[in-house]
Chains A and B, each alone.
Chain A
Amino acid sequence: MAAKNTLRTWARLMRTYAKMDALYFLRDTRICLLYMFSDSVVSISGVFGMLLLAGRLGQSTGFSQNELYFLAACALLVNGLYDLFFMNNNAGAPSRIIGRGQLDHALIQPVPLPLHFITNGFAPASGCGTLLCGVAFSLWAAARLPGGVWLVAKALPLLVLSVGILFAWVYGVSALAFWAPYAAEEIAPDVTALFSSLAAYPLEVLGRFAQFFLCGLLPVGAMAWLPTSVLLGKAAPGPSIGLLAATAAASGLVAATIFRKGLNHYAKVSCPRYTGFGR
């Protein structure tokens, strides 16, 4: 019953934030067109950057050029999914909310905090640019591979786990802002930048330990390389998917623990940004 209620609340909030996003996106024709144009430029330049990178890396990575295109496309899909669900209201950059003392706005709503954070960033209108580019790019790249476009559908469940890992890392690290609001206010964008900038690199050339480190402990490799390796038959599916799921679970657990500790600290001192040294 409780799970059903939570699901209902989740659906209601997602609908609400989707509507708010559409209202924002469509508030003015000129601004809307400008937004779409600039968003397309950013997304397409991101794709071209990856195409150029794949073209350069092709020879010595253990991935063919087409496989590298698919890897880059998967990295773009992860970024696109993250933008789609967490772009608005700094939901994807919670260190800003905490550091700026804006958590009170969430605390006075009759909504459990986790539900608030996973819904209020939903941006199906203004945040779908990167995802659309990612879908187009991945379909094009998959069509050049033996698996065909079905590879994209197969990749989605694994990439959802990757998004979960990114979300957990962003929230876990952002919790630092509870103790150091000024210094850590902008740490969330740094975490997403770290993950997204390294996501498109193949880790084939690295040793086993380095691969494990970059897929389990600092899981930038779990963003795109590990799922792509499984789909392209370069890694054993069982252990690889197990590692991905375990990394997602462990990241989520650690992030939840740190965030809860941070919230307890917040409940004691509120936002200490304007006290002492501000930190």
Chain B
Amino acid sequence: MTARAIRPPARWLALGVVAAMAGAIALELVREARYPRDTVAEAVLYFPPGRAVTRLALSYDALLADVYWIRALQHFGSTRLKKDLGEKTYALLDPLLTITTTLDPQFNVAYRFGAIFLSEAPPGGPGRPDQAIALLQRGLEAKPGHWRYMQDIGFVYYWWLGDYRKAAEWFNRGADQPGAPWWMRSLAANTLAQGGDRRASRALWQSLAQTPDNDWLQRDARRRLQQLDALDAIDELNARVRRYREAGGGQPFTWEALVRAGLLRETPQDPTGTPYELGPYSGEVTVSPESSLTPMPTEPPRIAPQP
């Protein structure tokens, strides 16, 4: 028998490869369905937070930092999309960001975005401004004198903790750094004078919207400004609903009632073009759950007026 005669036909070999691969994939699917594993928890287990991480990474620490950055983004995004509120714990966000910034201490965006993610109130985020501040302070250890991190720390104190004295302190500290813009000083002054006032909040977000650091930061700041515009509009709409009731119209169940009464020209829409909702029983105006502005922020408490 010649060697050619005993060689199996190529199509049988190809079929064998396809069959074996299909079988392997089928078994993998069955295993995933029967014994699901928490993939993100596994991802964290690859490396414990700490300096040892950089040693284990040899000279590939920057690339590993990118991998952990993407994991942090995926964890934040996927947790945010979960329907079950009990699952929205964001428990791995801080460890993932810590690993990212330990691997690459110069990873500017990981500090800045990370702080935004960490301080975002539930259910949109873990509501951990303390961790956000700690992250930014680690950024300052890596880049001492980086006024943007100081601005961000001041911002967390202002917006999420309502501690205007601390916020102003950080804005002032940022203003003292070489290259800091002139408006940092007025930001500090405004914060002390009108903390919690919507105008002061708007000035704060406008300063972030002008940041050239990143498109994403600018987009987020613009969205926050739209939310503030929506809050202004809601105040105005609530006033018109009250006027309707005081004029003897009773509880308006729909916007049409206010349009017919001449209090509105048309169904009011938020800055994204989604109609506002009018609570049929409470009469309270809110942003629609369908709007991209949802969830709306809880405004920080207003500073007590000076006597």
Chain A bound to chain B:
no
